[in-house]
Structures are given as structure tokens and as C-alpha cells.
Amino acid sequence: MSKQTQTRRKTVKDIAAAKGKTPIVCLTAYDAPMASLLDPHADLLLVGDSVGMVVHGLPSTVGVTMEMMILHGQAVMRGAEQALVVVDMPFGSYETNNDDAFLNAARIMKETGCQAVKIESGTYAAGQIAHLVERGVPVMGHIGLRPQAVNVDGGFRAKGRTNAERDRVIAEARASADAGAFAIVIEGVAEDLAAEITAEVSCPTIGIGASAACDGQVLVTHDMLGLFDWTPKFVRRYADLSKTISEAAAAYADDVRTRRFPGDAETYALRKPDPEQR
């Protein structure tokens, strides 16, 4: 079946309308094959800047570039047909001023074909969100634990566990929603705080290490599939693919070294001449 005859792709309006209804299913995707596998099950696929750590082996998301996000966004759009695709804006691409934020967001959308962008939205970013939305760029916010701020925070630390931090995270949520974000990712906050924010803001919240009370959930797909030895506390592993892949690679290596692969089934033979063509 061609893409033209597939179910209509979800829009930001569909996601916004899911507030308080059936929870929104969101997963990360960085390439076309994985996007194709996840697409039938997800409402939203996030091309997260986590790609820097998950795929490229960087120590944090700070080193991720626009070119990386565009490359992976293009790949995901080739594999996804019905899920809304959101691409992260990398560190340094939106913080300086509204015009830079718009030009970079517009470039991401034009070159990938994605439907929205995501920014880590401290209160400082409310102006950028409003500027983008007014100019036709749907924006998803991201509050609480903000990975791009890892160097300020001294690591990836849960937020909202003190009164001062609670006030700051609530202010981030209000500012993002008031500026026009169609949804907000809440990462690494106390459960009751996530529930409070979800009840207060008008747009859907999508939790990661937050609360089942959020309007949806997102996980890094590689974590969910068990591709790493260590995963954060908030991850539930639904598979152990690291073991499966390791065992498959070991079996392949053994077959190669003992010349059991390739065998007759994987080898081409010279075609016999067709007598009728002589």
C-alpha cells in the first residue's frame, strides 16, 4: 500500500485534542527502519537530540548539531507514515534570539518535512515559542530535567524535589503553555509535581520519569528495548535486545570462522543453459 493511501498523519491539533483522554504514546526514533516499526503503535515519534548519546556515543546532547538533527529527521520521515514527527532543536540553535530560533526551526521543517520542533523551554524561551508559533512553527516544550543544561546542573538530576525547584518547574510549564506550546515534555520530576502541572496547563503533558498522571509518555526506544547495560530508574525494559544481538553476532562469527556460512542456501550457482535457447 502506498503512502498516499495510508491513514492520515496525525497533526498537532490531534495531539492537543488528546488532553485528558487516551494517553499519548510517544517514542524516540532516529532512522527509517526503526521509525517504520514504531509508526503503527505511536501517536508521536520524537527525533530527539538524545541521538547524540544513543547513536553517536557523545557524553551529552550538547555536542549535537543542526546537521545531525536534519539528517536523522529526514530518515525518520522516510519511515513514518501516520505518527506526528517532532524534531529536537539542538543546543545553541534557539536560545540567542527570536530570529535565529525561527530561521533554524524553519530550516529543520523545510529540510526534513517534520510537523513540529521541540525546544528545552526554560522561562527564558517563552518569547521564542510565541515567535515560532505565530510564524507557523508548532512547538513542543520540554521542562524539568533539561539535558542540554547538564553542564550547569552538574549531571542529569531529577528536578522539583525542593520548594524552590518546584516553583521553577511550574513557572517553566506555565510559560511554555501560555506561549503556545501544543504539548510539553515533563522530564525527571517528582510524581505529584507532574500531576499538578498536568492538571494546571491546557496543553497535553508527556512524561518521562514523571507521572502516570501525565497525558502521555515517552521513552528513548533504545532504553525501552534493552540495548544498553544501564538504563535510568524511570525506564521499563520491554525487551533485552542487547543479549539477542550479542548472541546473534557470536553465532554468525562462529559460522564464518568454521566456514559454515555461507552455505548452499546463501550461495549463487552458475545457471545451466536453457536447451530451448540454443
Active site residue 200: no
Per-residue pLDDT, averaged over 124-136, amounts to: 97
Topology of domain 3-224 in CATH is: TIM Barrel (3.20.20)
As a whole number of Å, the CA-based R_g of the chain is: 22
Query: What would the mean pLDDT of 123-136 be, rounded to a whole number?
Result: 97
Residue 5's pLDDT is 55
For 90-126, the pLDDT digits (tens) are 999 999 999 999 999 999 999 999 999 999 998 999 9
Q: State which amino acid sits at residue 181.
A: A
pLDDT for residue 6: 54
Instruction: Report yes or no: 118 and 185 within 8 Å, Cβ to Cβ.
Output: yes
Give the mean pLDDT of the chain. 94
Q: Could you tell me which residues are annotated as the binding site for 3-methyl-2-oxobutanoate? A: 49-50, 88, 118
Q: Catalytic residue, from 67, 165, 187, 247: name it.
A: 187
What pLDDT is attached to residue 106? 98
Q: What is the DSSP string of 12-48?
A: HHHHHHTTTSSPEEEEE--SHHHHHHHTTT-SEEEE-
More confident residue, 4 or 142: 142
Q: Write out the binding residues.
A: 49-50, 88, 118, 120
Alpha helices in the chain (DSSP H): 12-17, 32-38, 51-54, 66-79, 98-112, 126-134, 150-153, 163-179, 191-200, 221-224, 241-257
Q: Is 78 exposed, middle or buried (0-12, 13-18, 19+ CB in 10 A)?
A: middle
Report which DSSP code applies to 189.
B
Question: Percent of the chain scored above 90 by pLDDT?
Answer: 84
Q: What is the DSSP code (8-state) at residue 264? A: G
This prediction has a pTM of 0.93
- What is the per-residue pLDDT for 3? 47
From residue 185, give the alpha-carbon distance in Å to each of 98, 208, 227, 252. 21, 7, 23, 41
